């Protein structure tokens, strides 16, 4: 067995209410064996242990991102990111270095460039050819409305001077009519169709690498709403002993009947990998004005086609699907942005719980790993004030992404007006008895949990605007925000008995920060540095 580890010399934020901030913590066999004062902890140690001196730094429980698109994020992370690259030569150099690491027949993929920063006209296929070593390349502009491709990519798609522009798109051309490497709108589709789906092995490799990145910011657990290829990949990694992240993996809606046919229920798995909930979209998004609203969006044009947004399902269908899931002990994870979407989903869960009273009694199984996984609503961005208390009453988790609030300030003010008072209503939800579970929704937003913690504590953008925070009465304290990234998600995966806080007997998943967290100004929270990430007592990353 590995030696015991003693960590002391700084503040240990246990998030265990019976302990609070401790002086020392000891780890044994992957669990917290004692936590408390220096004297208490040393008394419980074996003679031979490893001492980690915090020297004034601090410790928090391992962080959980309760909503991250793992495979999508991982594949994107493997691509070139040209956001804010200010010179064309630098962009080419980034592309060259990336391409050199790829197999000879791989596609060079990327996004994020903005030629207005480069003070030049559109980039060209022949310029891209010079740095891609014969590989086809497809690199989207930051707005996704155009793409820069090379000649190998044009050849793959059989795009030549004789090609006509597709409907809704165009092919950039030089003075002679030859394609020049720019594709606009639907002009991109022919090349996109040539890009091969990554193999299962590539997906596994990408996920494994992305997990290592997450360790660098203190993430030890994630909840993943993705498809069967992602679920298969993480099982393969686990089967090889190469899964270094605790995962609750959800089920795509169209797969419900497969799970029912097999008799598979939410919660099967262990502390590394569990089968979670049925993912159902109930409405669209705020930015697209497709969130489902009780009253029309503000400031829409007079001829807006759907002033109340777009519910994704007939009410009856939605009720029936949720009932079908709960009747088969498959919990739901509901995407709901608008106040009408949230109300409808709460109504449907309430009805399904009444029709399936067994579902009302989630209970802890042996070792707490078989607990019924709770139902949850994702985003829950705009709530009618009357619906806030229903989360706690119905045992529905409010799974939210603080960074959405600060990214959305302008559009929320514009589309929701005064209603935004109960948007991203963390404080009101918490006060009403709801469990908060925080995450990122990456790659839609940054997956960095410290960016989320900054947003939760300040309700300010990274640049500090607006002064005093946006609807600051909904801000959380730092400890509350951390709770929603640790204890809250553990409750949400039905694992509060084994993780979330740093109580005795719980899994030794924890993060050593470079700072004394109590001394970090709220405005600096996004910049907190991680010194070491520990999962099950073992260091998985050290800075």
- Per CB under 8 A, residues contacting a copy of itself are 1, 227-232, 235-236, 238-241, 243, 251, 255, 258-259, 261-265, 267-273, 275, 328-329, 362-367, 369-372, 505, 536
Return the number of the residue (362 or 392) whose C-beta is nearest a copy of itself.
362
Going by their DSSP bridges, the two strands 246-252 and 273-281 should be labelled as parallel
Which of 121, 104, 351, 72 minimizes the C-alpha distance to 225? 72
- Alpha helices in 287-408, H assignment, sequence order: 315-327, 339-355, 388-394, 402-407
Q: How far is the CB of 210 from a copy of itself (least distance, A)?
A: 18
In Å, how far are 313, 328, 330, 440 from 277, measured between CA atoms?
18, 11, 6, 18
| Residue 382 DSSP SS3 | strand
Return the number of the residue (56 or 228) whose C-beta is nearest a copy of itself.
228
Q: How far is the CB of 75 from a copy of itself (least distance, A)?
A: 16
- DSSP type of residue 155: H
Name the strands in the sheet holding 273-281, side by side, starting at the edge strand that comes first in the sequence. 63-65, 219-224, 246-252, 273-281, 332-336, 376-379, 397-400, 436-438
**Burial class, 9, CB count within 10 angstroms (exposed 0-12 / middle 13-18 / buried 19+):** middle
Return the number of the residue (189 or 504) whose C-beta is nearest a copy of itself.
504
Return the number of the residue (1 or 55) whose C-beta is nearest a copy of itself.
1
Return the number of the residue (268 or 294) whose C-beta is nearest a copy of itself.
268
Say if CB 184 and CB 169 are below 8 A apart.
yes
Q: How far is the CB of 370 from a copy of itself (least distance, A)?
A: 4
Q: How far is the CB of 231 from a copy of itself (least distance, A)?
A: 4
Phi (first) and psi of residue 150, to 5 degrees = -105, 180
- Beta strands per DSSP E along 421-537: 436-438, 510-513, 530-535
Q: How far is the CB of 266 from a copy of itself (least distance, A)?
A: 9
Return the number of the residue (33 or 398) whose C-beta is nearest a copy of itself.
33
Return the number of the residue (271 or 508) whose C-beta is nearest a copy of itself.
271
In Å, how far are 230, 405, 427, 439, 482 from 402, measured between CA atoms?
25, 5, 12, 7, 12
Q: How far is the CB of 95 from a copy of itself (least distance, A)?
A: 33
Q: How far is the CB of 62 from a copy of itself (least distance, A)?
A: 15
Return the number of the residue (11 or 273) whose C-beta is nearest a copy of itself.
273
Q: How far is the CB of 239 from a copy of itself (least distance, A)?
A: 5
Q: How far is the CB of 320 from a copy of itself (least distance, A)?
A: 20
Q: How far is the CB of 486 from a copy of itself (least distance, A)?
A: 21
Work out the number of other CB atoms within 10 angstroms of the CB of residue 406.
Answer: 24
Return the number of the residue (230 or 481) whose C-beta is nearest a copy of itself.
230
In Å, how far are 305, 320, 375, 494 from 331, measured between CA atoms?
34, 14, 5, 11
Return the number of the residue (86 or 200) whose C-beta is nearest a copy of itself.
200
Q: Residue 430 is encoded by which pair of tokens? A: 């918490």
Q: How far is the CB of 384 from a copy of itself (least distance, A)?
A: 33
Return the number of the residue (204 or 283) whose C-beta is nearest a copy of itself.
204
Which residues, other chains included, contact 474 with Cβ-Cβ below 8 Å and sequence gap of 6+? 424, 425, 426, 427, 428, 459
**Burial class, 514, CB count within 10 angstroms (exposed 0-12 / middle 13-18 / buried 19+):** middle
């Amino acid at each position: 067995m590995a030696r015991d580890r003693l960590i002391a010399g700084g503040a240990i934020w246990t998030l265990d209410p019976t302990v609070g901030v401790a002086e020392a913590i000891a780890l044994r066999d992957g669990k917290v064996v004692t936590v408390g004062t220096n004297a208490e902890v040393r008394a419980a140690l074996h003679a031979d242990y490893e001492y980690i001196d915090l020297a004034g730094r601090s410790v928090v429980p391992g962080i959980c991102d309760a909503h991250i698109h793992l495979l999508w994020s991982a594949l994107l992370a493997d691509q070139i990111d040209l956001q804010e690259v200010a010179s064309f030569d630098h962009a080419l150099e980034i592309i060259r270095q990336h391409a050199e690491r790829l197999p000879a027949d791989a596609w060079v993929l990327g996004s994020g460039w903005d030629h207005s920063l480069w003070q030049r006209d559109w980039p060209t296929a022949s310029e891209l050819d010079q740095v891609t070593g014969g590989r086809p390349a497809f690199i989207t502009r930051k707005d996704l409305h155009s793409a820069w491709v090379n000649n190998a990519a044009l050849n793959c798609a059989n795009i030549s001077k004789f090609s006509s522009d597709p409907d809704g798109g165009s092919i950039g051309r030089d003075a002679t009519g030859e394609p020049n490497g720019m594709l606009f709108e639907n002009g991109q589709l022919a090349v996109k169709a040539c890009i091969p789906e990554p193999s299962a092995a590539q997906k596994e490799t990408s996920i494994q690498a992305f997990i290592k990145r997450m360790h660098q910011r203190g993430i030890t657990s994630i909840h993943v709403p993705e498809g069967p290829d992602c679920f298969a990949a993480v099982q393969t990694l686990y089967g090889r002993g190469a899964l270094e992240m605790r995962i609750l993996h959800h089920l795509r809606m169209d797969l419900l009947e497969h799970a029912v046919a097999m008799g598979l229920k939410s919660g099967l798995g262990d502390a590394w990998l569990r089968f979670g909930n049925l993912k159902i979209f109930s409405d669209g998004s705020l930015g697209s004005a497709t969130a489902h609203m009780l009253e029309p969006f503000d400031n829409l044009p007079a001829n807006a086609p759907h002033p109340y947004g777009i519910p994704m399902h007939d009410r009856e269908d939605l009720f029936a699907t949720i009932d079908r899931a709960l009747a088969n002990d498959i919990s739901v994870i509901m995407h709901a942005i608008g106040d009408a979407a949230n109300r409808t989903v709460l109504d449907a869960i309430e009805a399904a719980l009444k029709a399936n009273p067994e579902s009302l009694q989630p209970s802890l199984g042996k070792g707490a790993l078989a607990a019924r996984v709770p139902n949850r609503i994702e985003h829950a961005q705009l709530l009618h004030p009357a619906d806030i208390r229903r989360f706690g009453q119905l045992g529905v988790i409010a799974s939210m992404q603080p960074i959405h609030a600060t990214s959305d300030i302008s559009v929320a003010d514009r589309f929701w007006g005064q209603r935004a008072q109960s948007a991203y209503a963390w404080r009101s939800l918490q006060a009403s008895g709801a469990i908060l579970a925080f995450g990122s929704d990456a790659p839609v937003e940054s997956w960095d949990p410290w960016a989320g913690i900054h947003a939760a504590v300040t309700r300010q953008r990274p640049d500090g605007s607006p002064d005093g925070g946006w609807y600051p009465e909904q801000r959380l304290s730092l400890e509350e925000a951390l709770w929603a990234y640790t204890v809250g998600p553990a409750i949400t995966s039905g694992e509060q008995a084994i993780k979330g806080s740093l109580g005795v007997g719980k899994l030794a998943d924890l993060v050593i920060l470079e700072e004394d967290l109590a001394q970090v100004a709220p405005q600096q929270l996004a910049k907190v540095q991680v010194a070491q990430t520990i999962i099950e007592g073992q260091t998985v990353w050290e800075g």
